[in-house]
């Protein structure tokens, strides 16, 4: 039986591990640091078991559990509550967050071994996991916002974990500031709902209770309250979407994600697979019934998502840092999910979020495994690692094929459903918009295949090019500062089992995760799970559940042909007819390569123009003038008046007693004269 206490335990266990590590284990010194890792793994392991049990129980009984919320605050006419919402979206996200987090924590035992801040790392990881769990469980939008910001705080701490590195500290601040820009929109949406509390209450609804917000946005004809409609509904959706754009790195707030690679690699895996960036897609999914009532909002989501999918993929073509390639890939794949939500493919978007968590976590952990051997993340100094690291190589190939969407791996099933529903154009957006989304996403498949297998060839094929030792030598010879995260340490061998085993589990998931929900029922051959199980389960959480379309062999063939074309182009460019080309063929593109390598100069725009010129010279210049001339002037005037008035009054205090009666007499005479004159 599902009880409220068991659900809260999933959240409270990592909270307890965070407190114990921070307050007890870390002060005990380095000799007890490993205990921090074991404690975090135990907390998330139990949470994962409970999450799987909750998913199985709720799916079996087709139940949505909403426990009675607990009063938190009463502010004005609004009631803010703490509670739990266990619908299909929550149940699946709990499994994803706890499962991927568990694998990352086990992997970290090997990757972070020997780090002087080992216990601090696991304290932050416990807080990060707890914050995301709290976010997906929230039943109140203010409760969600609290955990939303805790996720942002945790990412700031982990991206800047090696805070002695200026680049890491700068990346952490950049991530924090840019995501806060999006969060302003989310906060404005909450403020709007707060001021509608009385209107909601007149209909027996709580303006901050998420299921009540769904009901308020639904038109009266559909059985809803129709409280939020028209322009107000559009702006509410755009405010919520702004928060999602910041967290999920969608254009134009995507620039923080590549720099977030300054944190430890397992942190990158967790951020990009199951926690922070997934939170943006989760937010739009959580309020999908609200977005679905505004065609304009859905068009914005669809177009920004589809554009981001292609835009980020182009930048992945020119990146040489293996983790940055994966970062651009994440931004692109999140664009697929947003585009799917925009065209109304709610089930397919969340299915892709589910499968993406496994193969993207695998690819990031594989990047960390490669760095563990080569001492660098720069693919130009790798090569030839296929024989030295066979397990890592084949697992990375599996993750890459799943990312590209090759049949029959997990990524194929979820990405194919997104393409199919975009092609069918049966959603709330016009057919022309849906067709444009389909074309952009298909271009994204080609680009994804090319940059992914460019990464595979540069990293694993050809001859080894010296690793971090050679990179440091080259940068020193060029008189440039040493790149961060690069060491002389090179040991060409497989990573330890504590790193390989979690990668193996994620690799297995990257193969079979799609089979549990594929549209042609392959798993039902063995009497296991019916076709479309997961997507239909997602749909059951909506009042007007959208049913997934039947499998379309034509779209599947087209997507695979395009994917293989991208792989083939990468092979021609990097592996044939010679085993390796040291000079990247893309550098021959000249200005185009520079444009992509410089990320379309958007960092220059934001930091050089917006911050350096517009903000610093204009906004900061004006406020500096006001501070020096007006604020300081008022303060100076106050001091001058005080000094001079005090000096004037001091004249009356001359110490001559005989003058005091005279002053009193004159004062009394003045009072009498005024009384007689005015009376």
The DSSP secondary structure of 51-116, one letter per residue, reads HHHHHHHHHHHT--EEPPPEEEEEETTEEEEE-BEE-HHHHHHHHHHHHHHHHHHHHHHHHTTT-T
Model pLDDT for residues 443-485, shown as the tens digit of each residue: 999 999 999 999 999 999 888 888 777 778 777 777 777 676 6
Cα separation, 20 vs 123, in Å, equals 8
Residue 198 backbone phi and psi in degrees, to 5: -65, -40
In 10 A of CB 316, how many CB atoms? Answer: 25
The pLDDT of residue 580: 47
Residue 578 has pLDDT above 60, yes or no: no
How far separated are the first and last CA of the chain, in Å rounded?
88
Cα separation, 485 vs 529, in Å, equals 45
Helix, strand, coil % over all residues of the chain, rounded to 5: 75, 5, 25
Both tokens of 388, joined, read 């030295």
Residue 531 has pLDDT above 70, yes or no: no
In terms of Cα–Cα distance, which of 240, 432, 259 is closest to 338?
240
List Cα–Cα distances, 386 to 363, 392, 461, 570, in angstroms. 15, 8, 6, 17
The pLDDT of residue 581: 45
In terms of Cα–Cα distance, which of 519, 511, 531, 509 is closest to 407?
511
Cα separation, 111 vs 264, in Å, equals 9
Residue positions counted in the chain:
679
* Buried/exposed 584-613: b ≥16 CB within 10 Å, e otherwise: bebeeeeeebeebbebeeeeeebeeeeeee
Lowest mean pLDDT among 75-84, 265-274, 366-375, 381-390: 75-84
Both tokens of 169, joined, read 């500290």
Q: What is the mean pLDDT of residues 141-170?
A: 91
The residue behind tokens 């979690």 is: 502
The pLDDT of residue 575: 73
List Cα–Cα distances, 579 to 42, 389, 512, 661, in angstroms. 46, 18, 33, 111
Both tokens of 51, joined, read 């999450």
In 10 A of CB 446, how many CB atoms? Answer: 20
Q: What is the mean pLDDT of residues 588-593?
A: 74
Model pLDDT for residues 103-149, shown as the tens digit of each residue: 999 999 988 888 888 999 999 999 999 999 999 999 999 999 999 99
Cα separation, 414 vs 400, in Å, equals 15
In terms of Cα–Cα distance, which of 388, 649, 485 is closest to 115?
485
Contact indicator for 143, 72 with CB cutoff of 8 Å:
yes
Contact indicator for 398, 510 with CB cutoff of 8 Å:
yes
The pLDDT of residue 254: 87
Model pLDDT for residues 639-661, shown as the tens digit of each residue: 888 777 777 766 666 667 777 77
pLDDT > 90: percent of the chain: 44
Residue 79's DSSP bridge partners are 74
Q: Long-range CB contacts (< 8 A, 24+ apart) of 115-119?
A: 116/30, 117/161, 118/30, 118/33, 118/34, 118/36, 118/37, 119/21, 119/25, 119/26, 119/30, 119/32, 119/33, 119/36
Both tokens of 569, joined, read 């182009």
Model pLDDT for residues 283-302, shown as the tens digit of each residue: 999 999 999 999 999 999 99
**Coil, strand or helix: which one is 140?**
strand
């Amino acid at each position: 039986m599902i009880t409220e206490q068991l659900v809260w335990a999933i959240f409270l266990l990592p909270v307890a591990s965070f407190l114990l590590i921070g307050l007890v284990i870390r002060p005990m010194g380095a000799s007890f640091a490993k205990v921090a890792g074991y404690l975090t793994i135990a907390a998330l392991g139990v949470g994962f078991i409970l999450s799987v049990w909750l998913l199985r129980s709720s799916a079996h009984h087709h139940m949505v559990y909403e426990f009675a919320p607990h009063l938190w605050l009463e502010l004005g006419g609004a009631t803010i509550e703490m509670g739990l919402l266990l619908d299909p979206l929550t149940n699946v996200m709990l499994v994803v967050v706890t499962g991927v987090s568990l694998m990352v924590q086990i992997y970290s035992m090997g990757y972070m071994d020997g780090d002087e801040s080992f216990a601090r790392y696991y304290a932050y990881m416990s807080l990060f996991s707890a914050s995301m769990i709290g976010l997906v469980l929230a039943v109140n939008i203010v409760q969600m916002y609290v955990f939303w910001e805790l996720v942002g705080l945790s990412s700031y701490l982990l991206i800047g974990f090696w805070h002695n590195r200026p680049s890491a500290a700068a990346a952490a601040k950049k991530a924090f500031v840019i995501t806060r820009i999006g969060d302003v929109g989310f906060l404005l949406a909450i403020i709007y709902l707060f001021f509608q509390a009385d209107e909601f209450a007149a209909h027996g609804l709580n303006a901050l209770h998420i299921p009540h917000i769904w009901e308020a946005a639904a038109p009266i004809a559909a059985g809803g309250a129709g409280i939020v409609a028209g322009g107000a509904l559009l702006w509410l959706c755009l405010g919520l979407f702004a928060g999602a754009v910041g967290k999920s790195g969608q254009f134009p707030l995507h620039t923080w994600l590549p720099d977030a690679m300054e944190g430890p690699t397992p942190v990158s895996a967790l951020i990009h697979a199951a926690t922070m960036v997934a939170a943006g897609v989760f937010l739009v999914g959580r309020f999908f019934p609200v977005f679905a009532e505004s065609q304009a909002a859905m068009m914005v989501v669809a177009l920004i998502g589809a554009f981001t999918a292609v835009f980020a993929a182009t930048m992945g073509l020119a990146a040489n840092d293996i983790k940055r390639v994966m970062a651009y890939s994440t931004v692109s794949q999140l664009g697929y999910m947003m585009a799917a939500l925009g065209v109304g493919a709610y089930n397919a978007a969340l299915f892709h979020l589910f499968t993406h968590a496994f193969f993207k976590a695998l690819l990031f952990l594989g990047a960390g495994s490669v760095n563990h051997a080569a001492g660098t993340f720069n693919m130009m100094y790798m090569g030839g690692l296929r024989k030295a690291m066979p397990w890592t190589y084949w697992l990375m190939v599996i993750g890459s094929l799943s990312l590209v969407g090759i049949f029959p791996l997990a990524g194929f099933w979820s990405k194919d459903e997104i393409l199919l529903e975009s092609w069918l154009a049966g959603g709330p957006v016009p057919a022309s918009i849906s067709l444009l989304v389909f074309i952009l996403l298909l271009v994204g498949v080609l680009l994804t295949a090319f940059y992914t297998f460019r990464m595979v060839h540069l990293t694993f094929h050809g001859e080894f090019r010296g690793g971090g030792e050679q990179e440091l030598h080259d940068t020193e010879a060029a008189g440039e500062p040493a790149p961060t995260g690069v060491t002389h340490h090179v040991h060409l061998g497989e990573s330890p089992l504590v790193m390989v085993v979690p990668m193996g589990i994620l690799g297995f998931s990257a193969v079979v995760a799609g089979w549990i929900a594929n549209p042609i029922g392959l798993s039902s051959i063995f009497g296991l799970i019916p076709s479309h199980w997961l997507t239909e389960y997602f749909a059951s959480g909506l009042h007007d559940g959208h049913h997934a379309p039947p499998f379309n062999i034509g779209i599947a063939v087209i997507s695979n042909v395009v994917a293989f074309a991208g792989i083939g182009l990468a092979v021609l460019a990097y592996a044939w007819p010679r085993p390796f080309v040291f000079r990247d063929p893309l550098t021959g593109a000249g200005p185009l390569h520079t444009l992509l390598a410089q990320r379309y100069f958007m960092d220059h725009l934001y930091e050089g123009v917006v911050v350096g010129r517009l903000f610093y010279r204009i906004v900061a210049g004006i406020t500096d003038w006001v501070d020096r001339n007006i604020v300081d002037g008022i303060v100076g005037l106050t001091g001058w008046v005080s000094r001079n008035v005090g000096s004037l009054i001091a004249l009356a205090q001359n110490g001559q007693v005989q003058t005091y009666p005279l002053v009193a007499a004159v004062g009394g005479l003045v009072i009498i004269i005024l009384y007689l004159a005015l009376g």
